Structure 1
């Protein structure tokens, strides 16, 4: 009845106020600062039928989690080369070279150069396998980063597929409820006409009106669900995606 319907209004108003406060919080503003801006009732945005057609797979790289996993993999792969290069000796000439050294023939003497180079080579090649183990460890870290990247990419694909399915099914439900709402409006109109002609009682009219309100409420929920599915699709694609205009 009317009182039962009216009893739902406070709950709906509470949910509306909480949603306004949440939006304001996300924008870094005071809870009630957006009330005047969000109070006017506006129509829900229309969702194009062919919106989800031809989405490029590379669009997934816009997602922050995919980008982070990709950069992590690239960094760990580069570190393999660094660890591998560290296994080989780094020849360096230290000290100074002057005429005295050249005249004395000491530039390439074993005391001036050979011992330091030998120590450098020996320290690198005969380290007990420490540098080789470091390369193996880095290879394992890189494989873990690769597995994480693959898992992140699969999760992104699943979320996109889920959003596409939700968007498609929301359209089917929206169409079905739209047809049901049209039929309910015609039934309510016919009931009022028959009541005016004295063919039915007023309870029958109330039943038809109640059915109409129920279908319209479900249709409004379906409209909201379709827009929500569109938002989820954009979120799954990393946001900021728009279908290119056809020439």
Structure 2
């Protein structure tokens, strides 16, 4: 009947929505791996730049030692800073290679397939500056898990209607009454005639208890589906709010850290110049170089976090998987469901 059809169609749509959820998750994983790769490449460039600066400082201390203007202590301190930075390079290079491998596997390719394509460094992709940080609640409905929960409620409602319909009388007699049942012996035994008539009769009046129990079972399933839907919507709301708050915080941090990095770069340059002229001690040079490296790495890390939280917002909103065409879904196989 109609209720059975509606339940089946809703279940099919729920399965299609679950497929969409998997597709969005895979797309998000690809994006996150790509962001990690580009972010690590940026950190590697920062390390190389700082290594170059530290090598210049080391050379400067060696010249000053030869001129009798400093001690070997400053030379060894400069060498320590230089080698510590150099030690970071293999770690970052390993992380870059592993990120390339992860991307290749996620896109169905051998681990080394993207080595050439992704060898050149480019900046971490950033979300648009004018990205809206407030969204209508209705956008949550495009999340595949919310869609799936909605359809499970729809299917449960249809099953309740189906169980209710089964309580209605269905007057069909499937027994037989022929000459063999009208023999003299059969006519004197009324119960035998009744048993012949009822042998294949199925009327709700005879199993109403079981059918009422089925109604209660389906009603309980509906209540559970509704609670699951409520929990899914609340989780979706939390995911979106968390991503929006993180994006807002990352934007503010990036602004302040960029200013700090610029100031740290200027301070490091001035410190080297003043040290060359013998106006400050070497410890000040070391401190400014460390601060410069730390602020540059912080800027890169916040850029990575900003892009990462943008991907999380994409995932929290259901990504690119959208479909309001329920009639089309009801006739499609799950394998033909809309793809992100």
> Same fold judged by TM-score > 0.5?
yes
Aligned mate of 2:146, from 66, 69, 93: 66
Counterparts of 1:122 and 1:7 in 2: how far apart (Å)?
82
Deviations 1:119-155 (A, max 9, x none): 9998312425211111111000010011111111111
Preserved CA contact (<8 Å) 2:174 2:199: no
- What's the secondary structure of 1:33's corresponding residue? coil
- What's the secondary structure of 1:35's corresponding residue? coil
Name which of structure 1's ranges 117-126 and 175-184 shifts more when overlaid on structure 2: 117-126
Residue of structure 2 equivalent to 1:108: none
Name which of structure 1's ranges 53-62 and 2-11 shifts more when overlaid on structure 2: 53-62
TM (norm. structure 2) is 0.60
Q: Does 1:187 pair with 2:259?
A: no
Counterparts of 1:38 and 1:64 in 2: how far apart (Å)?
32
Distance 1:89 1:119, change over 3 A: farther
Which structure is richer in relative contact order (CA contacts within 8 A, separation 6 or more)?
Answer: 2
- What's the secondary structure of 2:126's corresponding residue? coil
- By how many angstroms is 1:116 displaced? 11
Q: Does 1:56 pair with 2:136?
A: yes
Q: Does 1:230 pair with 2:289?
A: no
TM (norm. structure 1) is 0.81
What aligned pairs does 1:16-55 form with structure 2 within 5 A after superposition? 16-55=96-135
Deviations 1:159-193 (A, max 9, x none): 11111111111112211211111111221222233
Residue of structure 1 equivalent to 2:217: 137
Which ranges in structure 2 are unaligned for 5 or more consecutive residues? 1-80, 176-194, 322-340
Counterparts of 1:68 and 1:192 in 2: how far apart (Å)?
62
Preserved CA contact (<8 Å) 1:66 1:149: yes
Counterparts of 1:225 and 1:178 in 2: how far apart (Å)?
15
Counterparts of 2:196 and 2:82 in 1: how far apart (Å)?
97
Residue of structure 1 equivalent to 2:84: 4
Alignment length (residue pairs): 222
Q: Does 1:87 pair with 2:150?
A: no
What aligned pairs does 1:183-222 form with structure 2 within 5 A after superposition? 183-222=263-302
Name which of structure 1's ranges 122-131 and 173-182 shifts more when overlaid on structure 2: 122-131
Preserved CA contact (<8 Å) 1:63 1:238: yes
Distance 1:50 1:93, change over 3 A: farther
